[in-house]
Structure 1
Amino acid sequence: MSVSEIETILSSLVGFPSVCGLPNGEIIDWIEAHLLASGARIRRVPGDAPGRYSLFAAVGPQEAEGIVLSAHADVVPVTGQDWSSDPFVLTRRENRLYGRGSSDMKGFLACMLHLARKAGRKDHPPLKRPLYLAISHDEELGCLGVRSLIEGIREDGDLQVAGCIVGEPTGMQVAVAHKGKIAFEIICRGQAAHSANPFLGKSAITLASNMVEALSRLQEHIRQTERHDGRFEVPFSTVQAGLISGGAALNIVPDLCTITAELRLLPGYEDAPYLEWLENASRKAVENLGGGEVELRIINSYPGLNASPSSDICSLALHEAGRNQVSVIDFGTEAGLLGEKLGMDCIVCGPGSIARAHKADEYITLPELADAERFLNGVLEHLRR
């Protein structure tokens, strides 16, 4: 098998502008047709939003100890980015393949789909254990789509597998840990008044500024009190405000200001103590202002990953990737949710680089796809033994 065949599949995948938050029926239809032609048994799982779908497919016998390969089919938007070629047309320049999602993570998805075709061929040795493919939507919005996919899988009963490989771009390093995330809003409400006499009002922006300062104090509290995990570049949990919006006009004391913030939590740490810390800080902020209200509202969350380096799937991945040791990653994936909800060991290992993701001129290289091909061929041979 040649990388050119994977390139052809990747070209088709990139050609679908499967931007997160939008209906994805076209790309899912195409993937489903490809898998049906491979002889796969397929479950199409509707998402919580209209027009969103995930797929769960199986190739091979209905036995235990299969292996799950996992990828998301959605990509981030290209709006405002200065691409040197059409982001939704795979463009080869030397050994680089440019296109939105090429690294994150349609490159691995293309390798998955080609492997499924190879696994289903009648002229090849049959599988003794099944190959599963989990393909989700809206991962880029905070691992949203995989939740309905997990529920769909659970409806079919316990999934008895040897483990799961999530093919996010790690440069084919075998990652066993990443932080979890909780996104939340801090909604500050005051009392409007004419700015000619601002003392008749209660400024929601003043409340918000106090809460931004509280986030900074919380970060220092976390740094000092958490047990640091030296595997990560930042060895403790982090908190930061990413968006702030408030006020209606310059001559109006603002009655509403909203901060959107996030916690990135070390594996094993819960968000509840830190949210309680912020609740206490909000009460003090309201007291200092002499009125108003602060509400904390959770938007989304997903757990971290802290897999055992001695698990069977980790040992297999290390062997097939030609690695001697495991690594960790700084970005979140669906691995934590898949492992937690389905009770299976998960690792993260895939081609490409996260440093190229979400940017203009995202690309993956032909040698990277070749490495992923060799890796997955080894996984397939393992299922034949």
Structure 2
Amino acid sequence: MSDLQKTTEILRDLIGFPTVSVDSNLAMIDHLATLLADAGARIDIQRDPTGKKANLFATLGPEGDGGIILSGHTDVVPVADQDWSSDPFVMDERDGAVFGRGTCDMKGFIAACVAMAPTFAAAVTTRPLHFAFTYDEETGCIGGGALVENLREKGLRPALAIIGEPTEMRVIEGHKGCFEYTTHFTGLEGHGSSPDLGVNAVEYAARYVARLLDLKDRLRARAPADSRFDPAWTTINTGGLHGGVAHNVIPGKAHVDWEMRPVQPGDAELVKRDLHEYCANHLLPAMQAIDPSATIRTETWGEVVGLEPMIANAARDLVMELTGANGADTVPFGTEAGLFQTLGMDVVVCGPGSIAQAHKPDEFIALDQLDQCVTMLHRLTARL
């Protein structure tokens, strides 16, 4: 059986684990741990505080610093309300592609890494090779943050990390951060015929959204002249405004889901400071003039730093050599790469499949993309 066939068979099993972020990933982690242990890897399963999810950190080769990390996340986005032509958790191979939830984002890369583990084990001699498979990337890179903190506490310093997000095997050396929030408004319910006697949480939430729209325009004007991102500026997206129970009831609760993707650290601080001052000086006093118990509270889902392009980046240079690429790009979407960069590692993003297929019904990965990934990993064995 070829390595591509092995990868496809492992991917078939991984698709069968419905690791939607709200659910446990333990069954998939245990399966991966067994496969890697069979290849001779040392296994470290790191559970989250609930005990229902875990990261897997596995190592081949000698102990110590200076190794290479191959990293991917095990969780996938929901399939609810999506129109799939086949069962999203049963692999469907047709037309030169493999269909199923998580095929490109990013179980295909994980499957290729695990399929290559026996080959890696026979080749690794001078420095360790690590596999880092995380939970809850889709909901704020929570597992990646925990794994990086675990490495920091242990004092383990791998040299390079390859994050296998779907880039169509392009070499990516930079991406924006991703900061996600929910801002909650608690007002005072009442009858719709007397709006001045209540605190309409939806209306104040709408004013907050208007402020976000104003900030979007201000951030566009702050785009760095040398920005390599598309779009070149820090973006804000309002993902949802929720509240209200009936046409004739003053809503007492509302919340706004929103995110920003900074291209420079100062932008994030500008947004947070502006919103804090706007709430403290304008919205909240108006709300509390009617009901002193009215509140505005912002919940942070995740503040994931971006991957900063570096002049010297050994991970980028290595993957360019392995893939034959003659340049490196940036992308607007976020990954766990910046978390690894905070440890002082050189980091690159490169993996099979297209981000255009991620999160959609009938998600797929082309078999030729998987084959290119397997080829890259084969070439990596010579560097172990």
Same fold (TM over 0.5): yes
Is 1:5 paired with 2:6?
yes
Report deviation, 1:50: 2.6
Match of 1:50 in 2: 51
Is 1:72 paired with 2:73?
yes
Q: Choose 310-319 or 59-68, whichever is displaced more.
A: 59-68
* TM-score, normalising length: structure 1: 0.93
Match of 1:175 in 2: 172
Is 1:302 paired with 2:304?
yes
Q: Is the 8 A contact 1:267 1:306 kept in 2?
A: no
The partner residue of 1:281 within 278, 281, 284 is 278
3-state SS, counterpart of residue 59 of structure 2: strand
The superposition leaves residues 88-143 of structure 1 with CA deviations (integer Å, 9 ceiling, x where unpaired) of 1111103111111110001100111122121124xxx5532221111111111111
Match of 2:354 in 1: 353
Are residues 43 and 198 of structure 1, via their aligned partners in 2, closer, same or farther at CA, if it must alter by over 3 Å?
Answer: same
Question: Which amino acid in 1 is paired with 2:133?
Answer: I
Q: For 2:145 and 2:181, how far apart are their aligned partners in 1?
A: 19
Question: Which amino acid in 2 is paired with 1:66?
Answer: G
Q: Is the 8 A contact 1:48 1:148 kept in 2?
A: no
The partner residue of 1:132 within 130, 133, 142 is 130
The partner residue of 1:327 within 322, 326, 329 is 329
* TM-score, normalising length: structure 2: 0.93
Match of 1:238 in 2: 235
Report deviation, 1:155: 3.9
**Mapping of residues 163-202 of structure 1, within 5 Å:** 163-202=160-199
**Mapping of residues 26-65 of structure 1, within 5 Å:** 26-65=27-66
Is 1:158 paired with 2:153?
no
TM-align CA RMSD: 1.8
Question: Which amino acid in 2 is paired with 1:197?
Answer: S
Q: For 1:193 and 1:94, how far apart are their aligned partners in 2?
A: 59
Q: Is the 8 A contact 2:3 2:115 kept in 1?
A: no
Q: Is the 8 A contact 1:103 1:353 kept in 2?
A: yes
Q: Is the 8 A contact 1:309 1:326 kept in 2?
A: no
Are residues 366 and 218 of structure 1, via their aligned partners in 2, closer, same or farther at CA, if it must alter by over 3 Å?
Answer: same
The runs of 5 or more residues in structure 2 that have no matched partner are none
Paired residues, number: 378
Match of 1:227 in 2: 224
Are residues 354 and 126 of structure 1, via their aligned partners in 2, closer, same or farther at CA, if it must alter by over 3 Å?
Answer: closer
Match of 2:244 in 1: 247
Question: Which amino acid in 1 is paired with 2:331?
Answer: I
Report deviation, 1:293: 4.2
Match of 1:263 in 2: 260
Match of 1:318 in 2: 320
Match of 1:141 in 2: 139
Report deviation, 1:320: 0.8
Question: Which amino acid in 1 is paired with 2:220?
Answer: R
3-state SS, counterpart of residue 159 of structure 2: strand
Report deviation, 1:228: 4.6
Q: Is the 8 A contact 1:174 1:314 kept in 2?
A: yes
Question: Which amino acid in 2 is paired with 1:145?
Answer: G
The runs of 5 or more residues in structure 1 that have no matched partner are none
Question: Which amino acid in 2 is paired with 1:257?
Answer: A
Q: Choose 275-284 or 8-17, whichever is displaced more.
A: 275-284
Are residues 51 and 303 of structure 1, via their aligned partners in 2, closer, same or farther at CA, if it must alter by over 3 Å?
Answer: same
Report deviation, 1:288: 5.9
Q: Is the 8 A contact 2:176 2:262 kept in 1?
A: yes
Report deviation, 1:156: 3.1
Report deviation, 1:311: 1.4
Q: Is the 8 A contact 1:164 1:313 kept in 2?
A: yes
Match of 1:104 in 2: 105
Report deviation, 1:286: 4.3
Match of 1:207 in 2: 204
Question: Which amino acid in 2 is paired with 1:183?
Answer: E
Is 1:19 paired with 2:20?
yes
Q: For 2:19 and 2:203, how far apart are their aligned partners in 1?
A: 41
3-state SS, counterpart of residue 261 of structure 2: strand
Q: Is the 8 A contact 2:174 2:330 kept in 1?
A: yes
3-state SS, counterpart of residue 276 of structure 2: helix
Question: Which amino acid in 1 is paired with 2:70?
Answer: L
3-state SS, counterpart of residue 212 of structure 1: helix
Question: Which amino acid in 2 is paired with 1:190?
Answer: G
Question: Which amino acid in 2 is paired with 1:338?
Answer: F
